[in-house]
Amino acid sequence: MPMRLAILALLTLFGPTHAKALEFADGKLQIHGFASQAVIDSSANRYYGDSPDTSFDFTELGINASYQFNPRLLISGQILSRRAGDMYDGSPSLDYGLIDYTVLSDVQHRLGVRVGRIKNPLGLYNETRDVPFTRPGIFLPQVIYYDKVRNLLLSSDGIMVYGDLYRGFGNLSATVGGGRAIADENVEWAFLGGDFAGDLEPEGLAWIGSLWYATPAEQFKVGLSGVATQLQFDAAPGGVLGAGTIDTIDLIASAEYNARDWTLVAEYSRQPLDWDDFGPFYPFDSNVIEGYYLQGSYRLRPNLEIMARYEEGFADRSDRSGRESSALTGGLTPPYDFFSKIATLGLRWDIHPKVMLRLEYQRHDGTFALSIRENPDPSELTRDWDVFAASLSVRF
């Protein structure tokens, strides 16, 4: 869709004159929505579609609703249509849908439980990553919040217990839970390097936990979160790969400082990966993925913000040059496909409280952040490349 038509459609459907949340007399039911369209141009490599020829294939449409039966019981959910290059085709899906029951709540404590499809409380942004207005840029830091395995990180079908402790020195929050992970074809492409004969499915429960501390006004917050997942590959008869398993633990340490006009954020991730029983044709057995970034934003005016970020990610922290990993593939995959170093500069302009325009430039060294599904031929990858992107987002 041409950018002019995309913007017109968004403004017509969700523009300021219509962008009001649906309100009901009892105040218990709330319905909100959002829409976002991006245009992406890259100097090389496919990034959310055919970006070397300019891509309009990054579109998000969401509607969410919640109903507060009483002070203790809440039901909420969100339907999302997300088109992201070759990774997601825009088919509507249940982003989350849960029952939240508060067991205890007073001025010093809160204890509750959530059941259903629950957003995993990973890092600072995972629970709100699909709402354009809550992201720090058009794209999240891809060395931690990988879009190429988004569904695996995003949510789980299960149960989660959460608790908060409010004291004069600050607030402590914790969550612990378990559920079935959500895997799709993107996970197979990312963890196995292709679409092989067979199916990659979650095995057993994924275990999720987080622990956070924040000062009373949340000027400063720090936290540790993680999820442990096992995947089983059911190989088809006569396939190249055997019936193997993948074990992964994704751990994220996070820190955020908020001042009146600026915010500073840093996160660090380690993700041990183990591949077992895939047979002699699969070159990898274990490594530790590593990623980190430093990000700062400054509010020039209440409705105008600039953002700068630098991030690095490595497929194996003990092989940051990628040479050893490349050698395991017989040199078919270049060393720079095993790391990414990305510098980002962005601008956010809230044209209206319900309408946001973003502009973003990224300079990439390496291609680890890219989806293999969008870039299946490693010989066509370019090490040094640039991205220019713009997005228009609206909400009601």
At 224-237, the pLDDT tens digits run: 999 999 999 998 88
**The pTM is what?**
0.91
Q: Measuring CA to CA, which residue among 295, 308, 307 is closest to residue 348?
A: 307
Domain span holding position 258: 3-395
How far is the C-alpha of 117 from the C-alpha of 303, rounded, in Å? 34
Query: Which residue type does 67 have?
Result: Y
Q: Whole-angstrom Cα distance, residue 152 to residue 180?
A: 10
Q: Which residue has tokens 């995959």?
A: 333
Burial status of residue 5 (CB atoms within 10 A of its CB: 0-12, 13-18, 19 or more): exposed
Kindly tell me the burial class for residue 229, based on how many C-beta atoms sit within 10 Å of its own C-beta (0-12, 13-18, 19 or more). buried
3-state secondary structure of 382: coil
**Positive or negative, the Cα torsion across 177, 181, 182, 183?**
positive
Q: Which amino acid makes up residue 94?
A: L
Q: What is the pLDDT of residue 16?
A: 47
Between CA 84 and CA 92 the distance in angstroms is 13
Distance CA 380, CA 90 (A): 27
Q: What is the DSSP string of 193-240?
A: SS--SEEEEE-S-EEEEEEEEE-TT-SEEEEEEEEEEEEEEEEPTT-S
pLDDT value of residue 237? 87
> Which of 392, 369, 396, 389 minimizes the C-alpha distance to 149?
369
pLDDT at 19: 45
Residue 242 one-letter amino acid: G
Place of tokens 């500073």: 264
Assigned token pair, 71: 């002070």
| Angstrom distances, CA of residue 285 to CA of 10, 92, 119, 208, 243 | 47, 36, 30, 24, 14
b/e for 117-145, b at 16 or more Cβ within 10 A? bbbbbbbbbbbebbbbeebbbbbbbbbbb
- Dihedral angle sign, alpha carbons of residues 152, 154, 156, 157: negative
CA distance 318 to 313: 12
Concatenating the DSSP letter of every residue in 283-316 gives ---EEEEEEEEEEEEEEEETTEEEEEEEEEEES-
- 355-385 pLDDT, tens digit per residue, is 999 999 999 999 999 999 999 999 999 999 9
pLDDT value of position 26: 66
Domains in the chain, number: 1
Token pair, residue 318, equals 């003990």
Where residue 229 sits, what CATH number does that domain have?
A: 2.40.160.10
The reported pLDDT for the residue numbered 239 is 82
> Which sign, positive or negative, has the C-alpha torsion 184, 189, 191, 192?
positive
Instruction: Give the model's pLDDT for residue 11.
Output: 47
Question: Is the four-CA dihedral 62, 56, 119, 179 of positive or negative sign?
Answer: positive
Tell me the residue type at 120.
Answer: N
Could you tell me if 311 and 269 are in contact, meaning their C-beta atoms sit under 8 angstroms apart?
Answer: no
> What's the CA dihedral at 100, 104, 105, 106 to 10 degrees?
180
How far is residue 290's CA from residue 339's CA, in Å, rounded to a whole number? 10
Reported as type and span, the H/E element at residue 154 is helix 150-154
**What residues in the chain have per-residue pLDDT under 50?**
1-8, 10-19, 25
